[in-house]
């Protein structure tokens, strides 16, 4: 796995585990805007993904902050794989461990994730423990090429 900075984003090397970017933003009203701008910079080599990714990131951050508003930061992780880009949005304050996963029905009942459910090729939500308190993790995948399979 390789990492890169926002000032020098580059495309995935096909013979490694993909590139990984991590952005920690304060859990304030500006979190969505800052995360979107960062994701736009990271996805510059894939302009066809930018709009969908920004909408999904916005939904996921709004959902996360509504679920657990007491956390000081939200972390957005972007991981380039060969056929898709994975995004993990979490409000934990450090390494976390999954407590339980929300069922597909629970996710379907979450109105803040409606657009993401329609756009992503995979969406998962789980509650995690970060060593201090409960947190929420949203995981989603967007295809690098082509449309979401029906």
Domain chopping of the chain, boundaries: 26-143
The pLDDT score that the predictor gives to residue 120 is 93
| Residue among 67, 86, 84, 70 at smallest CA distance from 20 | 86
Question: What CA–CA distances, in Å, run from 50 to 2, 75, 113?
Answer: 21, 18, 18
User: Which residues does the chain have with pLDDT short of 70?
Assistant: 1-16, 146-150
Q: Quick one: angle between helices 47-67 and 31-42, nearest 10?
A: 150
Dump pLDDT digits (tens) for 86-110: 999 998 777 788 899 999 888 888 8
Model confidence, pTM? 0.80
Q: Which fold has domain 26-143?
A: Heat Shock Protein 90 (3.30.565)
The pLDDT score that the predictor gives to residue 55 is 95
The pLDDT score that the predictor gives to residue 112 is 85
85 alpha carbon, distance to own chain's centre: 9
Quickly count: other Cβ atoms within 10 Å of residue 111's Cβ. Answer: 9
């Amino acid at each position: 796995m390789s990492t890169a900075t926002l000032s020098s984003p580059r495309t995935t090397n096909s013979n490694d585990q993909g590139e990984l970017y991590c952005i920690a933003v304060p859990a304030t009203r500006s979190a969505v805007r800052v995360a979107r701008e960062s994701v736009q910079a990271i996805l510059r080599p894939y302009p066809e993904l930018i709009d969908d990714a920004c909408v999904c990131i916005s939904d996921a951050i709004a959902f996360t902050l509504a679920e657990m508003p007491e956390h000081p930061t939200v972390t957005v992780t972007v991981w380039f794989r060969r056929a898709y880009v994975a995004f993990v949005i979490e409000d934990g304050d450090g390494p976390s461990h999954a407590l339980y996963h929300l069922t597909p029905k629970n996710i379907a009942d979450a109105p803040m994730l409606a657009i993401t459910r329609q756009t992503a090729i995979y969406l998962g939500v789980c509650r995690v423990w970060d060593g201090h308190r409960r947190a929420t993790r949203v995981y989603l995948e967007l295809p690098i090429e082509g449309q979401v399979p029906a």
